Amino acid sequence: MTHVLAIDQGTTSSRAIIFDAAMKIVATAQEEFPQHFPSSGWVEHNPADLWSTTAATCRSAIERAGLGPNDIAAIGITNQRETTLLWDRKTGKPLANAIVWQDRRTSEFCRKLKAEGFEPEVTARTGLLLDPYFSGTKLAWLLDNVEGARKQAEAGELAFGTVDSWLVWNLTGGKVHATDATNAARTMLYDIVKGRWSKTLCDRLGIPMSLLPEVRDCAADYGMARPDLFGRPIPILGIAGDQQAATIGQACFMPGMMKSTYGTGCFALLNTGEKPVMSKNRLLTTIAYQLDGKTTYALEGSIFIAGAVVQWLRDGLKIIREAKETQPLAEAADPEQSVILVPAFTGLGAPYWNADCRGAIYGLTRSSGPAELARAALESVGFQTRDLLEAMRADWADPAGQATLRVDGGMSASDWAMQFLSDIIGAPVDRPQILETTALGAAWLAGMRAGIYPDQDGFAKGWALERTFQPAMAAKDRDARYARWKQAVAATQML
C-alpha cells in the first residue's frame, strides 16, 4: 500500500487526488456542484451534493490511477472551513442545507452580541472576531429556525459538524463523529488555548454541547471508510481545514513562515509558533496545526473574494468564458486608466470585517471595457493581500527581516497576477512546483501517520520551488496605487 487518497472538498467543487509514495500526483478527479442563494447575502449547499461528489470523485481518481483498493494506504481530508451542517444521529439525514462560510444571514445577531460587549470574550477564547463567517452563529440560527431542531438537539438526537465531520460521518457509516483542531478552531465555540469546547460560548449561543464532535490531532485515527465504498476498509488518518492544510503543504513549519492561498477566497497564514499571538489589527488568531498533542498557532487574514471575482467576470458579467482569459485581457488593458474594483460581494473580511458593505467599481470612463475590468479584478486580489500583510507586519515583528510569501491555489498559476502581487507588496513571491498544496497537506498528514511519508523535517526538505517573482514596480508607484485602493475601500464602506 504505497498511495494516499486526498479528499479536497471545496466551496464550488469536490476533488480527489491520488499521491504516490514520492508524494507525486498520479490522478485527479473533480466535480462542481450547485450553489444556492435563497436570499440576499445567503449562501447554501445541499449536504447530499457535498457527499455524493466526494464519493464519486474518490472512486474516479482511484480508477484513473489504475489502482485497486489494496493500493491505498490511507485517506486524508481537507475541506472548506466554517460551513455548518446539522443532521440526525439516527438517520444521518441533514435537517437543512449547509450554511456556507460566505453566508451573512447572522449579521444582525452578531451586531447584537457586539453591542452587549460579548466580542472580547469570544476573541480571548477563540482568537476570532464576532462575525457571521464562523460556524457558531450559523449553528444557532439553524437551531432557532429549523422546525423541531432545538427540541431534538436538547434531546441529544442531532449532530453538528463542519464539512470534514460530515464526510467522516458518511465515510464511516455514522460510526465516527469527530473533527480536527484546525476545523474546531474556526467554529467560534472552541477554546484554542485550553484545547476544548467552551461551555461559556456554547451557553451564550444556546448550543447544547451534545451536538459537538470529538476534537483530535490533524494526524490521527478517524475510523475506517466503509468497505462498500472502495472495495475494502481504508483508514482515515489525516484532517485539516483547507487553509491549514495548505500551510502544511507549503511546509511552513517554522515561526515567521507565511503562505497565501488563492481559491474562492484568499487566506494568508503566518506561523507564530507555540504561543498564540492576539492581533491588535483585526486579524484572526488560530491553530495552524496540532500534531502529537502539540498545538502550533498562526495569525490569519481572510479575504472573502479572490478567485470568486474571476467567476463573477465569467458568470455574472459574461465577459470571459474561462478563467485563463483574464491574463491576456489584463495585459491588454489601457495603462492610462485606473479602474479599481472592490469585490465586497459578501462584505469585506480582514482587516475591515464589514459584513454589510457591497462591491463597487471606481474610475470608469467611456473607454473602460472588459480588459480594464479584468485587470482591476486581478489587481483587487493583490491589494487585498497587501492589506493582510500590513496588518501581520504590525502584529508580528519578523526578526529575520522581510519574509517571503509562499503562494498556492488556482489563481497563483497566473504569472500576471503573481507579478502584480510581488509588485504591490514589495516582496518576493515563491510559487512551488506543486500548486495542489492543500491536497498535499492532507495527503502528508495521512501518509505520515500511515508510515509511508517522511516526518516534518523530511517533508520540509522536499519542498520544491517552481518560480520566484521579484518586485519590479517603483516604490512611489506602489505606494500611490495602494493609497488609491485604500481610498476606494473607505468610500465603499460609506455607501
Q: Over 70: is that where the pLDDT of 8 sits? A: yes
Cell numbers at residue 219, please? Answer: 494526524
Query: Sorting pLDDT into bands at 50, 70 and 90, what band is 401?
Result: low
pTM reported for the whole predicted model: 0.86
Task: List, for residues 421-431, the tens digit of each pLDDT value.
Answer: 999 999 899 99
Mean pLDDT, the chain, whole residue set:
92
pLDDT at 402: 58
Encoded amino acid at 118, one letter: F
Average pLDDT over residues 170-181: 97
Judged by average pLDDT, the poorest of 150-154, 330-334, 349-353 is 349-353
Give tens-digit pLDDT for 253-284.
988 888 998 888 888 999 989 989 988 888 99
Residue 475 pLDDT > 80? yes
Higher pLDDT, 412 or 158: 158
Percent of the chain with pLDDT over 70: 99
The x, y and z cell numbers of residue 43, run together, are: 449562501
Looking at the chain, the whole-number percentage of residues with pLDDT higher than 90 is 75
Examine the pLDDT at 298 and tell me if it is beyond 90.
yes
Mean pLDDT computed over 489-494:
92
Reported confidence tier of residue 346, pLDDT bands at 50, 70, 90: confident
On whether the CB atoms of residues 23 and 183 are closer than 8 A, the answer is no
Q: For residues 421 and 271, is the Cβ–Cβ distance under 8 A? A: no
| Cα 463 to Cα 469: distance, rounded to the nearest angstrom | 17
Over range 146-157, report the average pLDDT.
95
pLDDT the model gives residue 4: 96
**Residues facing 303 on adjacent strands:** 266
Average pLDDT over residues 305-326: 86
Confidence band of 241 (pLDDT split at 50, 70, 90): very high
Q: How far does CA 338 lie from the centroid of its chain?
A: 30
pLDDT value at residue 210: 95
Residue 134 has a pLDDT of: 94
Alpha helices in 431-474 (DSSP H): 437-450, 456-461
pLDDT tens sequence across 59-99: 999 999 999 889 999 999 999 999 999 999 999 999 999 99
Q: Are strands 72-79 and 98-99 parallel, antiparallel or unpaired?
A: unpaired
Per-residue pLDDT band for 321 (boundaries 50, 70, 90) equals confident
Confidence category of residue 398, pLDDT binned at 50, 70, 90:
low
